[in-house]
Every structure is written in structure tokens, then in C-alpha cells.
Amino acid sequence: KAGVTQTPRYLIKTRGQQVTLSCSPISGHRSVSWYQQTPGQGLQFLFEYFSETQRNKGNFPGRFSGRQFSNSRSEMNVSTLELGDSALYLCASAEGAEGNEQFFGPGTRLTVL
């Protein structure tokens, strides 16, 4: 089976712009979670989707949003980018509702100038 794929791998944006990141989970996996990784804050949970519904959300401002499609693919969107949004954004997929085994993609490296 192919692993979790994320596109694009690298992205450079300027402050005030918006960005959309994409994640394709492992085939058959219905749960997708998003995490932000920065040197200062480490790995922080953004949100989790299961069967097109957002089940859980972390402590991020409303500028961060996401969605999941019927084929389990997920996108996350960040509007009005700030310098502090520069990070590695990681997507993880899990098979069932419990999501106990989460497999991560390679991440999208976002740089905000």
C-alpha cells in the first residue's frame, strides 16, 4: 500500500496570503489528522476528520481550517498568513474511528516571508 502523501512538499508564501495543503491518506483509512511542527512549539495538534466530519480541534485560531472529502482526502487552509505560521505541516491517517495507529506523511514545509 502506498503511504500517506502530502502536496505540495514545499511552499513559500508572503504575509497576508492564504494557502491550501492537501493530504491523501493510506487507502482504506478514514481518519485524517493534521499537526503543526515548529522548533519553538514542537508538534501541536490542529484538527482531526473522520468520514468527512471534524471530530476534534486543537487550540489554533480560526484562520486554520480544514475539510475532508468523501474519498477521505483532506485539505487544510490557512488564511491571512503570518510569519509565525512558518512550519512543517504533517498529516496522519488511521484506519478506524479510534485512530490508534496513526501513520504520518512526509509533511509540507511552509515558509511565510
Partner 1 sequence: GEDVEQSLFLSVREGDSSVINCTYTDSSSTYLYWYKQEPGAGLQLLTYIFSNMDMKQDQRLTVLLNKKDKHLSLRIADTQTGDSAIYFCADKGGKALTFGSGTRLQVQP
- What is the binding site for partner 1 (CB under 8 A)? 4, 6, 33, 35, 42-43, 45, 48, 55-56, 58, 90, 92, 100-107
Q: How many CB atoms lie within 10 A of CB 7?
A: 12
Omega prior to 25 cis, within 30 of 0? no
- Contact between 11 and 108 under an 8 Å Cβ cutoff? The reply is yes
98, 90, 20, 83: CA torsion to nearest 10: 130
Find the shortest distance in angstroms from Cβ 8 to partner 1: 14
Find the shortest distance in angstroms from Cβ 45 to partner 1: 4
Find the shortest distance in angstroms from Cβ 97 to partner 1: 13
Q: Output 73 or 109, the one with its CB closest to partner 1.
A: 109
Q: Output 13 or 45, the one with its CB closest to partner 1.
A: 45
Pairing of strands 108-112, 10-13: parallel
Q: Output 16 or 96, the one with its CB closest to partner 1.
A: 96
